[in-house]
C-alpha cells in the first residue's frame, strides 16, 4: 500500500537559544494526524511516570512542539503526538512548550486544515490504513486519535535499530507501516507485537524495503 501523501515542506527547527517558546495546555492542542501507535504511548507514559513535574518541564522545554497558529490563537501540533498524548493521559491539565512554525491570517478550521494539507502536514489515514479521508475527520483533541498497530510495530523496529529515524520526512513511520501492511504478517496488536516482530524485522532488513527512508539493510 503506497501512501498518496502530497509533497511536503520541511518543518523549521526551534531557535537554538530557546527563544520564542510558548507554554500551551495539551488539552488545547489540535492534532494533525488521525492515528498513533499505542505501544509507543504506553512506553512514553512509563518514562514520564518516573519524572517529577519539574523534570518533565525541563524535558519538554528541550523538545518543543512545532505549532501552526490560527488568527484566533488556536494551535495545531505538527509533531510530538505520541509524547504529548502519553503525558495528557497521565495529567489532563499538563502543559508543554511549543514554537510557531506558521502563523495564519485565517481562523476558520476548514481553512486552517486546507493550509496544512497544502504543506503536506496532515496524515489523513485511519487506524486500518484506509484513506485519505477528509481533513474534517481529524479529531479535535489528542485523546481522539486512533490506534494503528502498524505504527506501534514500526516504533518497535526503530527502537531496536532495525529502521533508522528520518526526522525531516513527515509521517516517516506511517510510510513504513503502509509498506508492511502490503506484506503478510501474523496477527498482532499494539498490546501484543511479538507475533509479528520476527517477520517484520526480516522484511524491514530486506532489499525490498530499500526504497524507504531509514532503511539500514541486513546486519553484517
Domain that holds residue 48: 22-146
Number of domains in the chain: 2
In a domain, 198, yes or no: yes
In a domain, 108, yes or no: yes
Alpha-carbon Rg for the chain, nearest whole angstrom, is: 17
- Name residues of the chain where pLDDT drops below 50: none
In a domain, 5, yes or no: no
Q: Say if residue 163 is in the same domain as residue 112.
A: no
In a domain, 126, yes or no: yes
Q: Say if residue 42 is in the same domain as residue 54.
A: yes
Say how far apart CA 87 and CA 203 lie, in whole Å.
32
pLDDT confidence of residue 3: 64
pLDDT confidence of residue 2: 54
pTM (two decimals)? 0.92
Could you tell me the CATH number of the domain that includes residue 94?
A: 3.90.1530.10
Conformational region of residue 76, where left means phi above 0, alpha means psi within -120 to 50, and beta covers everything else? beta
Print the SS3 string covering the chain.
CCCCCCCCCCCCCCCCCCCCCEEEEHHHEECCECEECHHHHHHHHHHHHCCCHHHHHHHHHHCCEEEEECCCCCEEECCCHHHHHHHHHHCCCCEEEEEEEEECCCCCHHHHHHHHHHCCCCECCCCCCCCCCCHHHCCCCHHHCEECHHHHHHHHHHHCCCECCCCCCCCHHHHHHHHHHCCCCCCCECCECCCCHHHHHHHHHCHHHCCCCCECCCCC
Could you tell me the CATH number of the domain that includes residue 204?
A: 1.10.8.10
Residue pair 64/21 in contact by the 8 Å Cβ criterion: yes
Question: Which grid coordinates are listed for 153?
Answer: 510495530
Last residue of a domain, one of 146, 176, 198: 146
Question: Which grid coordinates are listed for 205?
Answer: 532488513
Q: Where do we find the cell 508543554?
A: 96
In a domain, 8, yes or no: no
Residue-wise pLDDT tens digits, 188-215: 999 999 999 999 999 999 999 999 999 9
Amino acid at each position: 500500500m503506497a501512501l498518496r501523501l502530497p509533497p511536503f515542506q520541511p518543518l523549521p527547527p526551534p531557535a537554538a537559544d530557546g527563544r520564542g517558546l510558548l507554554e500551551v495546555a495539551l488539552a488545547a492542542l489540535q492534532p494533525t494526524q488521525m492515528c498513533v501507535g499505542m505501544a509507543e504511548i504506553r512506553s512514553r507514559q512509563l518514562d514520564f511516570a518516573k519524572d517529577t513535574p519539574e523534570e518533565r518541564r525541563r524535558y519538554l522545554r528541550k523538545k518543543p512542539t512545532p505549532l501552526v497558529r490560527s488568527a484566533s490563537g488556536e494551535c495545531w501540533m505538527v509533531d510530538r503526538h505520541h509524547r504529548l498524548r502519553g503525558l495528557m493521559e497521565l495529567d489532563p491539565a499538563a502543559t508543554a512548550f511549543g514554537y510557531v512554525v506558521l502563523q495564519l491570517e485565517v481562523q476558520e478550521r476548514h481553512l486552517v486544515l486546507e493550509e496544512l494539507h497544502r504543506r503536506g502536514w496532515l496524515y489523513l489515514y485511519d487506524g486500518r490504513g484506509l484513506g485519505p479521508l477528509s481533513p474534517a475527520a481529524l479529531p479535535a483533541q489528542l485523546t481522539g486519535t486512533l490506534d494503528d498497530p502498524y505504527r506501534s510495530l514500526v516504533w518497535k523496529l526503530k527502537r531496536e535499530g532495525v529502521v533508522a529515524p528520518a526526522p525531516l520526512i513527515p509521517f516517516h513511520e506511517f510510510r513504513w507501516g503502509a509498506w508492511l501492511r502490503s506484506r503478510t504478517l501474523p496477527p498482532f496488536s499494539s498490546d501484543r507485537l511479538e507475533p509479528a516482530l520476527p517477520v517484520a524485522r526480516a522484511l524491514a532488513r530486506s532489499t525490498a524495503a530499500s526504497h524507504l527512508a531509514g532503511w539500514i539493510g541486513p546486519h553484517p
